[in-house]
Amino acid sequence: MTETLTIGKALNLGLRRAMEDDAKVVLMGEDIGRLGGVFRITDGLQKDFGEDRVVDTPLAEAGILGTAVGLAMRGYRPVCEIQFDGFVFPAYNQIVTQVAKIHARSRGKLPMPIVIRIPFGGGIGAVEHHSESPEAYFAHTPGLKVVAVSNPVDAYWGIQQAVAHPDPIVFLEPKRRYWEKAEVDTGATPGPLFASRVVRGGDDVTVLAYGPMVKTALQAAEAAAEEGRSVEVVDLRTISPLDLDPVFDSVRRTGRCVVVHEAPVTLGLGAEIAARVTETCFHSLEAPVLRVGGYDTPYPPSKLEEEYLPDLDRVLDAVDRAMEF
């Protein structure tokens, strides 16, 4: 059955299906019950599944993650909503020292099937702490997996796959794209969660993006085509583990690679990807791997975010530099 869904509604339906499929799934977070979440991602779920399965928690992120650990030890599958990216840091200790390590610490006796949903990224004109891209912190932490969805289809299937997965997953939702629509075939068989995907074919330059930047990369590819440049776009989809084989195949053909993310460039995902592409595709490269990202500043006040965030023009500029090298 095919429906037109926004990313937000696709997540809502995906969560509903995950809860129907497994009675051990428990949603936890601030304002997710009666209100349905500040972005309404859990709208209507408490009404249908009850207060024990959609839990309005006290206002403390470490408490959400720490009690999720205990529930997971008891056999539950907690799905924690962090209201905004910048509010994950009070829970950082639990995520990094406990959620990520307990499976290894217990030599597999204590699985941690916890999903940490985080609306991430900027572009919504918000105040401080509501527009950040913290993915590199989590991708740097062994024991965690990190995925970022970019469209309603991946949102619908990805959240269900993440909830069913045995390892802890930081599930990044592109908040400024929550209202983007697409056709979702809810009867289809989904592809694997931890796989990148070529979303536009091209021959001259490979542009890599994830989450909210996939749309920007596609817009840039469209504009480049008008100038006669053929840009291939890869939606990375999974940030940890990275699935770079399709990227290597692409770069071996194009010889050029640009990585785009909102997060600050220094030690961001682009750095890791550039290193791996260089290690693997060194003899195919016609230009160094270039990075387009946020500047190494705190996320600026919203009147400056258009200058801070990578946009179509900054991606095209990098494509030009790669071509001219």
Partner 1 sequence: MSVSSATTEVVDPVPGAAAPHLPEQPDLVQLLTPEGERVEHPDYAIDVSAEELRDLYRDLVLVRRWDVEATALQRQGELGIWASLLGQEAAQIGAGRALQDGDVAFPTYREHGVAWTRGVDPLHVISLFRGVDNGGWDPVATAFNLYTVVIGAQCLHATGYAMGLQRDGAESATLAFLGDGATSQGEVNEAMIWAASFSAPVVFFCQNNQYAISVPLERQTRVPLYQRAAGFGFPGVRVDGNDVLAVLAVTRAALAAAREGQGPTFVEAFTYRMGAHTTSDDPTRYRLASELEEWKLRDPIARVKAYLSRSGVADAAFFDSVEAEADELAKRIRTGTVEMPDPPGTAMFDQVYAEQTPTLAAQQAEFEAYQASFEGSEHR
State the catalytic residues. 130
- Please, what's the largest Cα pairwise distance for the chain? 59
Task: Give the nearest distance from C-beta 122 to partner 1 in angstroms.
Answer: 28
Rounded Cα–Cα distance for residues 225 and 322 (Å): 16
Please pick, from the candidates 3, 6, 40, 66, the single residue that binds partner 1 as defined by CB under 8 A. 66
142 binds partner 1 (CB under 8 A): yes
Task: Give the nearest distance from C-beta 74 to partner 1 in angstroms.
Answer: 3
Token pair belonging to 199 = 């979303």
Q: Among 98-106, 129-137, 171-179, 289-297, which window interacts with partner 1 (CB under 8 A)?
A: 98-106
Pairing of strands 77-81, 231-235: unpaired
Token pair belonging to 45 = 């779920």
192 binds partner 1 (CB under 8 A): no
Q: Among 29-37, 139-147, 208-216, 280-288, which window interacts with partner 1 (CB under 8 A)?
A: 139-147
E-state strands within the chain = 2-6, 25-29, 54-56, 77-81, 115-120, 145-148, 169-174, 181-185, 197-200, 205-209, 231-235, 238-240, 257-264, 290-294
Q: Which is nearer to partner 1, 40 or 101 (CB)?
A: 101
Q: Which is nearer to partner 1, 109 or 283 (CB)?
A: 109
4 binds partner 1 (CB under 8 A): no
Pairing of strands 145-148, 238-240: antiparallel
Cβ pair 103, 167 in contact under 8 A: yes
Please pick, from the candidates 89, 111, 252, 300, the single residue that binds partner 1 as defined by CB under 8 A. 111
- Burial state string for 301-319 with b = 16 or more CB within 10 A and e = fewer than 16: ebeebeebbbbbebbbbbb
Task: Give the nearest distance from C-beta 19 to partner 1 in angstroms.
Answer: 14
| Interacting residues with partner 1 (CB under 8 A) | 26, 52, 57-58, 60, 62-63, 65-76, 90, 93-94, 97-98, 102-111, 142-143, 145, 165-167, 194, 240-243
